[in-house]
Amino acid sequence: MIQLYEELITILEKEFVLCTQLVGLLQKEKDVIVSLDPNALEQLLGEKEAISTNIRMCDEARERILERLCFSNKTISQVASVADDEYKDRLKDIASRFTSVIQSITELNKLNGKLIEKSLYYVKASYNFLNTFGVSAHQKVSVEA
């Protein structure tokens, strides 16, 4: 059982580092969206995808460990409340840090979503403005992505 708690804490620490890296990328993304640099945005999206894949792998590993500890579908806080004494504080600390980083990710995602909407609005408005003068774009831009 002790080994499983250690494995759980190790995977949670790894996942936390990945989440903080994601926060950094989301902050960069905000600047890239504002600058309307499609190449930088594409590179950033690739980095986000790689981090997201690694986070998913950590999630899966965490779920397997929790299942072996008989804590399936439990939050870190719930596990901490019933964990062995020597792991209780460490798990509570990790849960607290995750709450903070997830809140940051949520806020940055909302902000970036609004910036993208605004950017698309300006692109559409510019496109319509140019169309009024008979100027047509040489390239089609997909707004579905």
Closest by CA position to 25, among listed 35, 14, 15, 33: 33
Residue 145 has pLDDT above 60, yes or no: no
Gyration radius of the chain's alpha carbons: 21
Q: Which of 72-81, 115-124, 129-138 is least confident?
A: 129-138
What's the rounded Cα separation, in Å, for the pair 116 and 34? Answer: 8
Query: Does residue 139 form part of some domain?
Result: no
Query: Does residue 145 form part of some domain?
Result: no
Query: Does residue 143 form part of some domain?
Result: no
Query: Does residue 59 form part of some domain?
Result: yes
User: Alpha helices, DSSP H only, in the chain?
Assistant: 2-35, 38-68, 76-82, 85-132
Residue 44 has pLDDT above 70, yes or no: yes
Q: What is the pLDDT of residue 138?
A: 61
Query: Does residue 127 form part of some domain?
Result: yes
Closest by CA position to 8, among listed 66, 57, 51, 77: 66
pTM for the whole thing?
Answer: 0.80
Q: What's the domain count of the chain?
A: 1
Q: What is the pLDDT of residue 122?
A: 78
Query: Does residue 140 form part of some domain?
Result: no
- pLDDT digits 0-9 by tens, 45-98: 999 999 999 999 999 999 999 999 999 989 999 999 998 888 999 999 999 999
Q: Which of 2-11, 68-77, 131-140 is least confident?
A: 131-140
Q: What DSSP state is assigned to residue 83?
A: S
**Confidence category of residue 28, pLDDT binned at 50, 70, 90:** very high
Mean pLDDT calculated for residue range 116-132: 81
Q: What is the pLDDT of residue 88?
A: 92
What residue numbers bound the domain in which 107 lies? 2-132
Read off the CATH number of the domain in which 10 is found: 1.20.58.300
Mean pLDDT calculated for residue range 13-34: 94
In the chain, pLDDT over 70 holds for what percent of residues?
92
